[in-house]
Amino acid sequence: MNNIILGRYLEGNSVIHRMDARAKLILSFYFILIVFLCNNWQTYTLLAVFTFFCVLCSRIDVKYFIKGVRPLIGLILITVLLQLFFTSGGHVYWHWGIFQLTSFGIINAVYIFCRILLIVFMSTLLTATTTPLEIADGLEALMRPLRKLKVPVDEIALMISIALRFVPTLMDETQKIINAQRSRGVNFGEGNIIKQAKMLIPILIPLFVNSIKRAEDLAVAMEARGYQGGLNRTRYRLQKWHTVDTVAIIIFGGLTLLLLGLRG
Amino acid sequence: MTAIIKVKDLSYAYDDFKLGPLNLTINQNEWISIIGKNGSGKSTFARLLDGLIEADTGEIIIDGLKLNEENIWKIRSMIGMVFQNPDNQFVGANVADDVAFGLENRQIPHAEMVQLVDNALKMVDMSAFKHHEPDKLSGGQKQRVAIAGVLAIHPKIVILDEATSMLDPEGRRELLNLIHQLKNQYHFTVIAITHDIDETVDADRILVMNNGQIIMDDNPSKIFTHDQQLLNLGLDLPLTEKIKKNLAEDGIQLSEDYLNEEEMAKKIWELSSKM
């Protein structure tokens, strides 16, 4: 589990770490949208330079971001190859059956590669500089208007925050169950797929049963502590909108205008 | 002494288990220990007091308020409960969040909440761990946080439902000392449910439960003189009683009454100087 870099929080105290989670969430979504504005090398260069600037601002090692791309390499390769061999138009360099290598194809493949890379970098930046809890709080704040549509935003937020809080606890428990079953002679990771899937049963069943027991205990404890539902609770954790956040939004606005201007 | 909890003809049935009818009065600032073997109805009783389960008959009056649909949240805000498993009662994402959970439910304004949380963490000596996540804390530390969460709401009654049973001996002793000390400071009533008879020696009163009935209700020194009866109930004896029994087998008779550790040391001292 330790080699999954994607989505992990890295402690730090950079400008980006200190930004408000709501601003970071909005801007990350917005970034994904403006990536699609790019359609020539000027715009891609501009966006790449901008992304690199953001990465520098976070004071996180670039190597970390490159590692974050690694698990996605298969996906990127497939997309790029599909673009490369199945795009028609422009000068045809090479041709074999349904496969063809064209100038349009090459350009498109490079663009797609850049697009995915930029999006992965930016979302890694979001998760690396924001704790899961801040992300949950930010999402809740952004979902708040949905209350008018009778969406139980507070309950969803509480569920997310409890889920996040129990992730390490359940991981620990899973490991304990695996070890306990191993000590009783179950061999994990051997045999064919069906055999391996069957071996998951002695892990999954106790894990489910324990989770239900935990949920019961937690519900009783919450009720004993006066929890009556999401509405009308005050908040201990507060989110603060800083000047940095406003500045960041202005920068993104300027970036959008530049992109629109450079767009071919 | 004023009564804080009054229980009249309380009964509750569940599958083939029957609790009660119980009649009981608990006074303010008392430390009540409830002992009994598994399935004797201790936890059920605690849950009935907090309104977490509904009684079949009888009534519970807490601080002058009758426990019913209307008063239940008022009564819950007077009672702080600490449960057995430190992990399963940790609601917040980190220590401060968890302590604040009860305050959030009571709609305490943010500024006041920050203060109350800090104070509560100071009381249990966990201020340094304020931003720690639960998986970075030991069991004893998590129970301290649970107690801080209970103290933050300034309860009149603290119920410990086997709150120390998953801790190591040292953590257990520390936690009980802490609660004793906080009780003297903030004057709340403690109802401590336990399997461990050694935890009850400092109680003001001990209730022994068996098969859903309270079969003994007295101060520790009286209860511990019923040693054979306690053993028959599957309960252990406190350390001093065990020593006394062993000495009796060797023909050395100490007093008939219950002796705490200090009194026992003194008694043995007297005896050995006579020899």
Q: Are B11 and B56 in contact (CB under 8 A)?
A: yes
A-chain CB neighbours of B52 within 8 Å are: 220, 223-224
Mean pLDDT of B102-117: 93
State residue A33's pLDDT score.
92
For residue B30 the two structure tokens come to 């008392």
- The reply to whether B166 touches chain A by the CB within 8 Å rule is no
Residue A122 CA to residue A54 CA, distance in Å, equals 8
For residue A8 the two structure tokens come to 């992990």
State residue A104's pLDDT score.
83
B88 domain residue, yes or no: no
Residue A178 CA to residue A166 CA, distance in Å, equals 18
Mean pLDDT of B108-134: 92
Residues B160, B74 share a domain: yes
With bands split at pLDDT 50, 70 and 90, how would you rate the model's confidence at B267?
A: confident
Q: Hey, what long-range contacts does B118-124 have (CB within 8 A, 24 or more apart)?
A: B119/B152, B120/B148, B120/B149, B120/B151, B120/B152, B121/B95, B121/B96, B121/B148, B123/B148, B123/B151, B123/B182, B124/B148, B124/B151, B124/B178, B124/B182
Q: Are B233 and B195 in contact (CB under 8 A)?
A: no
B193 domain residue, yes or no: yes
Q: Are B50 and B76 in contact (CB under 8 A)?
A: yes
Residues B167, B200 share a domain: yes
In angstroms, the first-to-last Cα distance of chain A is: 44
Residues B2, B19 share a domain: yes
B-chain CB neighbours of A228 within 8 Å are: 73, 105
Domain count, chain B: 3
Instruction: Decide if A236 and B76 are in contact by the 8 Å CB cutoff.
Output: no
With bands split at pLDDT 50, 70 and 90, how would you rate the model's confidence at A23?
A: very high
Residues B181, B206 share a domain: yes
Residues B177, B68 share a domain: yes
Residue B156 CA to residue A239 CA, distance in Å, equals 33
Name the DSSP letter for residue B204: S
Instruction: Decide if A225 and B113 are in contact by the 8 Å CB cutoff.
Output: no
Instruction: Decide if A226 and B153 are in contact by the 8 Å CB cutoff.
Output: yes
Residues B123, B12 share a domain: no
Mean pLDDT of B90-118: 92
- Which residues of chain A approach chain B closer than 8 Å at the C-beta? 133, 161-162, 164-165, 168-169, 172, 213-214, 217-218, 220-228, 232-238
Residue A253 CA to residue A261 CA, distance in Å, equals 13
Instruction: Decide if B97 and A236 are in contact by the 8 Å CB cutoff.
Output: yes
What backbone torsions phi and psi does residue B131 show, to the nearest 5 degrees? Answer: -100, 15
B64 domain residue, yes or no: yes
Residues B231, B164 share a domain: yes
* pLDDT tens by residue, B138-195: 988 999 999 999 999 999 999 999 988 888 888 888 889 999 999 999 999 999 998 8
Nearest to B131 by CA among B95, B100, B91: B95
Residues B140, B256 share a domain: no
B41 domain residue, yes or no: yes
For residue B220 the two structure tokens come to 């520790």
Nearest to B192 by CA among B211, B212, B172, B210: B172
State residue A1's pLDDT score.
42
pLDDT above 70 coverage of chain A, percent: 96
B138 domain residue, yes or no: yes
Task: Please name the member of A220, A222, A236 whose beta carbon is closest to the beta carbon of B117.
Answer: A236
Residues B225, B164 share a domain: yes
Q: Which helix (H) or strand (E) holds A134?
A: helix A132-143
B-chain CB neighbours of A234 within 8 Å are: 103-104, 107-110, 113
B202 domain residue, yes or no: yes
Q: Which helix (H) or strand (E) holds A213?
A: helix A201-224
pLDDT above 90 coverage of chain A, percent: 33
Task: Please name the member of B52, B133, B135 whose beta carbon is closest to the beta carbon of A223.
Answer: B52
Q: Could you list the residue range(s) of the whole structural domain that residue B177 is in?
A: 1-78+155-235
Task: Please name the member of B52, B92, B134 whose beta carbon is closest to the beta carbon of A224.
Answer: B52
B85 domain residue, yes or no: no
Residue A213 has pLDDT above 90, yes or no: yes
Task: Please name the member of A161, A224, A234 whose beta carbon is closest to the beta carbon of B109.
Answer: A234
Residue type (1 letter), B81: M
Residues B163, B48 share a domain: yes
Provide the sign of the torsion angle of the four alpha carbons A38, A41, A46, A51, taken in this order. positive
Provide the sign of the torsion angle of the four alpha carbons B107, B108, B114, B118, taken in this order. negative
Mean pLDDT of chain B: 89
With bands split at pLDDT 50, 70 and 90, how would you rate the model's confidence at A7?
A: low
Residues B244, B230 share a domain: no
Q: Are strands B157-161 and B79-82 parallel, antiparallel or unpaired?
A: parallel
Mean pLDDT of A28-34: 93
Residues B55, B12 share a domain: yes
Number of C-alpha atoms within 13 angstroms, CB side, residue B176?
23
For residue B49 the two structure tokens come to 């007091």
With bands split at pLDDT 50, 70 and 90, how would you rate the model's confidence at B20?
A: confident
Mean pLDDT of A20-40: 91
State residue A3's pLDDT score.
47
* pLDDT tens by residue, A225-246: 989 876 778 888 888 888 999 9
State residue B275's pLDDT score.
67
State residue B160's pLDDT score.
94
Mean pLDDT of chain A: 87
B200 domain residue, yes or no: yes
State residue A2's pLDDT score.
47
How many other CB atoms sit within 10 Å of the CB of residue B81? Answer: 26
CATH code of residue B178: 3.40.50.300
